[in-house]
């Protein structure tokens, strides 16, 4: 059962419990698969979040300590179910997956050296990498779409920032927190100047 306006839906706690528990149970492969299921469920299937809203939540989670996906879960739970939705969403996501992880770890310790298990792991790693790439593309899509509406100059700036961040992490080994905070200040102080310059050029 869903009530409220289309911009601020209110989802029943039982519905939230079912959805987050299903995500937790299916999230094999770690963070990328969990993020994929969250996006597909709340953005693509039920449309309770827009792509831009999801991206904004994910950006907020990137600058806080702890497990980012749990923070994202709590933010979505707060939007859809209030304070109780936060609690239900967090527990429903973590408890099933934690129980499965515990059981699998116990089993894995006994069979980790078997050739068949090692062969399976060689297939899982590329699959996880593919999921990470897919999640990255989906995360960048609303940013690039919004930049395109603002003009091709904004698209160029967004692509340059993405490339710069990748280079800083891979080559300069910049800490993620430092990078996120730095880019936040960059966006607040520098990007508005580019926008004003672009508007002036278009009006002339």
Average pLDDT over the chain, rounded to an integer: 80
Binned at pLDDT 50, 70 and 90, residue 5 comes out as very low
Does the pLDDT value for residue 129 go beyond 80?
no
pTM beyond cutoff 0.85: no
pLDDT in tens, 25-65: 887 766 778 888 999 999 999 999 998 899 889 888 877 77
The phi, psi pair for 3, rounded to 5°, reads -125, 175
What pLDDT shows up at residue 6? 44
User: 69: burial class by Cβ within 10 Å (0-12, 13-18, 19+)?
Assistant: buried
pLDDT in tens, 169-187: 888 888 877 887 888 787 7
What pLDDT shows up at residue 42? 95
In the three-class reduction of DSSP (H, G, I as helix; E, B as strand; rest coil), residue 8 is classed as: coil
How far is the C-alpha of 180 from the C-alpha of 171, rounded, in Å?
Answer: 16
In the three-class reduction of DSSP (H, G, I as helix; E, B as strand; rest coil), residue 167 is classed as: helix
Q: Where are the domains of the chain?
A: 1-114+122-143, 151-204
pLDDT in tens, 95-122: 888 888 888 888 877 887 788 777 777 7
Q: From the centroid of its chain, how far is CA 22?
A: 17
């Amino acid at each position: 059962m869903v009530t409220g306006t289309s911009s601020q839906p209110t989802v029943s706690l039982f519905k939230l419990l079912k959805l987050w528990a299903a995500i937790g149970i299916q999230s094999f492969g770690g963070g990328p698969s969990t993020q994929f299921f969250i996006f597909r469920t709340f953005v693509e299937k039920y449309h309770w979040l827009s792509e831009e809203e999801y991206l904004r939540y994910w950006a907020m989670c990137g600058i806080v300590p702890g497990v980012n996906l749990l923070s994202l879960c709590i933010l979505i739970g707060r939007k859809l179910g209030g304070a109780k939705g936060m609690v239900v969403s967090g527990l429903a996501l973590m408890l099933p997956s934690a129980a499965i992880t515990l059981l699998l770890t116990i089993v894995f310790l006994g069979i980790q050296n078997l050739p068949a298990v090692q062969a399976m792991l060689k297939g899982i790693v590329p699959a996880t990498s593919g999921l990470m790439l897919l999640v990255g593309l989906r995360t960048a899509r609303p940013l690039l779409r919004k930049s395109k509406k603002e003009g091709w100059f904004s698209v160029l700036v967004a692509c340059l920032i993405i490339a710069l961040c990748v280079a800083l992490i891979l080559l300069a080994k910049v800490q993620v927190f430092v990078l996120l905070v730095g880019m936040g200040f960059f966006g607040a102080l520098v990007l508005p100047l580019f926008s004003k310059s672009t508007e002036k050029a278009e009006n002339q």
